Amino acid sequence: MERTFIAIKPDGVKRGFIGKIISRFEDKSYKIVAMKMINVTLEQAKKHYAEHEGKPFFDSLIKYITSGPIVAMVLEGENVIAGTRHIMGKTNPNEADVGTIRGDFAQVKEYNIVHGSDCTESANREIDIYFDKSELCENYKTMLEIVMEH
């Protein structure tokens, strides 16, 4: 099974969309392997956005992600990276389809509610930034997994 890192960004938390966003992923039957609300440290933010260091928008990315708590999650499922990115919608909310998280809740690209890993390498790197291995709850079955066994 594939894994991805998802973060409900500070604007999503501040606007009270945590439950609505999580339900979108649960509705798709993705398994939540880890989840916590945290204040992103400067060190975590710089690691998360390392590929953008030196770009004109780097400082604003760091300021934004550290401006309030995020809800960090690890999701697992078949093609979960592509699937969650589809549920989130395009990065620019003005281009995101209605029915996606960004299309329904975000107004501007700089405050687009949610982050999701774009590939396996990014997912592994981002999961390691925000979670220790001991925080991953791997040894349980979702109701869907139990039903599928029978």
Supply 76's token pair.
């697992």
Residue 52 a catalytic site member: no
Q: What is the pLDDT of residues 27-64, one digit of tens each?
A: 999 999 999 999 999 999 999 999 999 999 999 999 99
Q: For helices 18-27 and 80-88, what crossing angle results, to 10°?
A: 130
pTM for the complete prediction?
0.92
Q: What is the pLDDT of residues 59-113, one digit of tens each?
A: 999 999 999 999 999 999 999 999 999 999 999 999 999 999 999 999 998 899 9
Q: Give the CATH class of 2-149.
A: alpha beta
pLDDT on residue 38:
98
Q: Say if CB 12 and CB 18 are below 8 A apart.
A: yes
Catalytic residue among 48, 52, 86, 115: 115
* Cβ contacts of 32 within 8 Å, gap of 6 or more: 22, 25, 26, 73, 74, 75
* Cβ contacts of 67 within 8 Å, gap of 6 or more: 10
